[in-house]
Amino acid sequence: MLTDTARVHAAAWKRLFDDFLRARAEREGAPFREFDIEGDYLVYVDGKPRYDGVRSFLASREIELPEGEEDDPPESESVRGLGLRKDGFVKEVMARDGVEAYPTSVELVRKLREQGFRTAVVSSSHNCAAALEVAGIADLFDSRVDGVVIDEMGIPGKPAPDSFLEAARQLGVAPERAIVVEDAISGVEAGRAGGFGLVIGVARKGDAGELARHGAHHVVADLGELLD
């Protein structure tokens, strides 16, 4: 929604699961069925905390892995190992390529703040703070509820509404008087489940219909549409 990290995360998930699925298929002598960005990433992974994303996708392929331990290495075949491996891929790309913010998203947030609105960023990513700093927009938000905070507080991530509700609490605003802007289906579902006054879906992935079907009150292709 703010930075072009969805592309980075999607590529990292594909790299992770294609490597995992290919190795598994070779061991079992079974056909390799690749991880599909549109059919798998958007449905099972996008917007969710990384371990939830791992569990959700594996369940869709009827694959069971042990949960693993906190100190599992990234190369281990466990939910935690796969999640950590994916996180390493994301850090690798961010360090190499940087992070670019969407100009219209930044402009909209700046205008809202000039009008006295308080703003929060809600993300399932553990790399959210780093991405905001690299993109130069960390100062645009009064609050941040990200993957690190979600873990520390022990609250469920999207599509549960808890992360959005925590952000609203920190901003001192009732959910029904707050707006959620999301480009992930799980985030739209979370906004509606939390009873937020307006849930805006941003269809950068060509999924306007899906965002509306999962609860967005209004869908735009780009936040620049809200600037006029």
Q: Are residues 87 and 110 in the same domain?
A: no
Q: Are residues 90 and 148 in the same domain?
A: no
DSSP state of 180: E
Q: What is the pLDDT of residues 52-107, one digit of tens each?
A: 999 999 999 999 999 999 889 999 999 999 999 999 999 998 888 888 899 999 99
Q: Name the percent of the chain lying above pLDDT 70.
A: 100
Task: Single out the residue of 172, 220, 167 nearest to residue 190, CA to CA.
Answer: 167
Q: Are residues 39 and 130 in the same domain?
A: no
The pLDDT score that the predictor gives to residue 94 is: 87
Q: Are residues 92 and 108 in the same domain?
A: no
DSSP state of 165: H
Residue 1 has pLDDT above 80, yes or no: no
Q: How confident is the model at residue 30 (pLDDT cuts 50, 70, 90)?
A: very high
Q: Are residues 115 and 87 in the same domain?
A: no
Domain that holds residue 79: 6-97
Q: How confident is the model at residue 223 (pLDDT cuts 50, 70, 90)?
A: very high
Mean pLDDT of the 171-191 span: 97
The pLDDT score that the predictor gives to residue 85 is: 96
The pLDDT score that the predictor gives to residue 144 is: 98
Side by side, the strands of the sheet bearing 198-202 are 179-182, 198-202, 218-220
96 exposure class (CB count in 10 Å sphere: 0-12, 13-18, 19+): exposed
- Structural contact between residues 186 and 210, judged by C-beta atoms closer than 8 angstroms: no
Task: Give the number of domains in the chain.
Answer: 2
Identify whether 1 is part of a domain. Answer: no
